Amino acid sequence: MQALFFLHDLWYIDRNRERERNMIDIEVQDLSKEFIKGKKILNGLSFRVDSGERVGLLGQNGTGKTTVLRILMGEVRPDSGTVRLPPNKKIGLISQIPRFPAGFTVEDVLRTAFEPLKAMEREMEELSSRLDDVSAMRRYGELSHRFEAMGGYETDTKLNRIAQGLSLTADFLRQPYDTLSGGEQTRINLARLLLEDTDILLLDEPTNHLDMRAVQWLEDYLEGYAGTVLAVSHDRYFLDRVVKRIIEIRDGKAVFFSGNYSFYAEERRRRLDEQARQYEKEQKKVAQLEAAADRIHLWAFLGADKLHRTAFSIEKRIERIQTVDKPKTERMLHQHFESRDFHGDTVLAAENLSKRYDTKTLFSGLDLTIRGGGERIALIGENGTGKSTLVRILLGLEKPDTGRVVLGPSVRTGYLKQDVSFPDPWKTLTDTLVYSEQGFTVSEARNRLAAFGFRGEDSQKYVGELSGGELRRLALCLVMKGETNFLILDEPTNHLDIASCEWIEEAVEAYPSTLLLVSHDRYFIRKFAERIWELRNGRIIDWPCGYDEYLRLSEAQPRTETSKAPPRDKKQRQKREDPQTLRRRLTVAEQDLAHTEAAMDKLKAEMENCGSDYNLWIEKDGQLKELQAVWEQQYSRWEELSEQLEKKENS
């Protein structure tokens, strides 16, 4: 009997282990990787991501985040360690840009996501001519059920929904794919992967090349996404909304945080402070013991030889005490924007501004005023609406078609442009500062470069060797030197890691004069903007409030559609309107309603049994409200299908 119990326990343990393995989508054990001999960017990295989790992968630039994603995709082989992924699940990496045949339009590329469905449809069409054969009829029935379950009749609707969400207009869908920029191709392949119903999404800076509305749509989409998400991103607002857990790569290993970005930032700071306190406490104790050991050794030399053993014992104790490493913190940029006093009432006044390129009108009839007093304005809008063009017109760098701009007499502007470039890529960083308008000495240039993270030999790099983030830091070196009272920053956090974004925020926070921000970084806007200028449909909507209040107020305003549904194939339309298909979908909707109602009834019963546990009751009540929202959506869908079926049967 004991043997039977033992065998049962083994079976139970094995079954639980198998269940646990099935719940894990990504498992990484002891990964190591070095590209330069002796410099390991991954050094024993281990982590796991469970099915359905949303996890952010963070770390400074160069810590190996993208390398991890490429290892998971099989593009890069680790030097050691193992990676386990479920063999029956589809995994996709957003940063990959595959090749497509010449002549493919954007829509053709998107429709490659439906190739498995198209193959099924072709086989069904071939089988439909042989339905008198029993085996053919059985195979047709199996395919038909799978085709419907996989959304085969809803491909056009799904394509249109994702195209609208990512701001892909009908004209854009007709463009040849190979004429698009790298950023546009990245956006198209994001859309393609979303259409493929990938089980595991690896997102490498997914919000790059997306405007604010498209990013918000992506966040909403991922909220309802059933699969697993591992995201590398510098978009802190995106991380706050999407991820529920953070894995930070630090010194080649994984450090874990159970929360979104805001939790991570606070908890990381708390852990570093605690580590610093523990380190200081240990060092103080070590110093006391070392002093005691030195004294005892001295006494031993003076004649008490046996005391050496006591001193050696103390030294061994010191070795056991030293368990906490000195905390490593990033060197922060502590430079501030230099400012000068403003005298006057108006910083800027613009009247009847308009601008068009060829047949496209960006904006017209704009009247803008910025008063003195240190206003902080964020200029926002979708890509292509003309935000950067408007900024150049306000600065006098570009002429408007109509209207004029007048700056106050004591206004001195500073400008960080979106696309940072320098006239001579073969100048060193030091020479770039020495021969700039600010006229640094060599010593001043090196000191300033060091303050902006270019230390030692980095100051002798050529400008043309710099990455996008390094170019931005070099531009900030120059912009922050001039004395200004009206500062315009166009996408100031582009290409910067999170630590660098925090550097800029520190500088902006200390800037006392007027500020105009053009940015898609909602975390940055939310922190600083006191007024929102939204450029929409060629007009400026002036919101005299911060970003959170803007979101609340703007939700009530209707937006025009950015794209139209692609024309549906006649055969697809007939299938979609088939009464039999509608009845099946209606049955599924009724089952969904029944399941949700049963779950709601169960929660209500649990709430009645909570007794005096008020916190538990609150938790159950929150779950019940979420289920009620789901039920309302399901009921609306059921009503829609019922009406469609009734109209079809009565026609």
Residue 465 structure tokens: 């060797």
651 vs 620, residue with greater confidence: 620
Chain centroid, CA 37 distance in Å = 32
Element (H, E) at 649: helix 614-650
Residue 414 structure tokens: 């500073």
Each residue's pLDDT tens digit, 111-131: 888 888 888 888 788 877 777
**Closest to 235 in 3D by CA, of 256, 218, 258:** 218
Sign of CA dihedral 169, 174, 177, 179: negative
**Quick one: pLDDT at residue 247?**
96
The single residue listed with the structure tokens 């000068």 is 340
Q: How far apart are CA 330 and CA 341, in angstroms?
A: 33
**Quick one: pLDDT at residue 4?**
47
Q: How far apart are CA 520 and CA 534, in angstroms?
A: 12
**Quick one: pLDDT at residue 544?**
84
Query: Exposed/middle/buried for 12, CB within 10 Å: 0-12, 13-18, 19+?
Result: exposed
Each residue's pLDDT tens digit, 442-472: 888 888 888 777 887 888 888 888 877 778 7
Residues 59, 82 contacting (CB under 8 angstroms): no
DSSP per-residue letters across 43-63:
EEEEEEEETT-EEEEE-STTS
**Closest to 48 in 3D by CA, of 32, 31, 28:** 28
pLDDT band at 568 (very low <50, low <70, confident <90, very high): very low
Residues making up the chain, counted from first to last: 651
Q: How far apart are CA 596 and CA 604, in angstroms?
A: 12
DSSP per-residue letters across 473-530:
HHHHHHHTTS-BSEEEEESTTTT--HHHHHHHHHHHHH--SEEEEE-S-HHHHHHH-S
pLDDT reading at 132 higher than 80: no
258 vs 449, residue with greater confidence: 258
Kindly give the interhelix angle for 498-510 and 468-479, rounded to the nearest 10 degrees.
Answer: 10
pLDDT reading at 612 higher than 60: yes
**Closest to 375 in 3D by CA, of 545, 207, 181, 597:** 545
Residues 333, 452 contacting (CB under 8 angstroms): yes
Each residue's pLDDT tens digit, 192-237: 888 887 889 999 888 877 778 888 888 888 888 889 999 999 889 9
**Closest to 353 in 3D by CA, of 387, 382, 378:** 387
Residue 412 structure tokens: 């001195």
Each residue's pLDDT tens digit, 17-45: 545 455 889 999 999 998 887 788 899 99
pLDDT band at 436 (very low <50, low <70, confident <90, very high): confident
Q: How far apart are CA 593 and CA 636, in angstroms?
A: 10
DSSP per-residue letters across 289-349:
HHHHHHHHHHHHHTT-TTHHHHHHHHHHHHHHH--SPPPP-PPPP-----B----SSEEEE
Q: Are strands 245-250 and 54-58 parallel, antiparallel or unpaired?
A: parallel
Q: How far apart are CA 15 and CA 562, in angstroms?
A: 51
Return left, alpha or beta for 428; rule: phi > 0 is left, psi -120 to 50 is alpha, else beta: beta
The proportion of the chain whose per-residue pLDDT surpasses 90, expressed as a percent, equals: 18
The single residue listed with the structure tokens 């939310």 is 526
Average pLDDT over the chain reads: 80
**Quick one: pLDDT at residue 183?**
67
Task: Give 489's Cβ-side CA count (13 Å radius).
Answer: 32
CA distance readout (Å), 304 to 7, 255, 307: 66, 50, 6
pTM above 0.75, yes or no: no
Q: How far apart are CA 422 and CA 425, in angstroms?
A: 6
Residues 605, 623 contacting (CB under 8 angstroms): no
Phi, psi of 52 (to 5 degrees): 85, 0
Assign 455 to helix, strand or coil. coil
pLDDT reading at 268 higher than 80: yes
49 vs 598, residue with greater confidence: 49
Question: Range with the lowest mean pLDDT among 62-66, 92-96, 369-373, 589-593?
Answer: 589-593
pLDDT band at 643 (very low <50, low <70, confident <90, very high): confident
**Closest to 230 in 3D by CA, of 262, 213, 254:** 254
Q: Which residues contact 210 (CB under 8 A, 6 or more apart)?
A: 166, 167, 187, 190, 218, 383, 520
Residues 96, 189 contacting (CB under 8 angstroms): yes
pLDDT reading at 631 higher than 90: no
**Quick one: pLDDT at residue 533?**
93
AA identity, residue 455? R
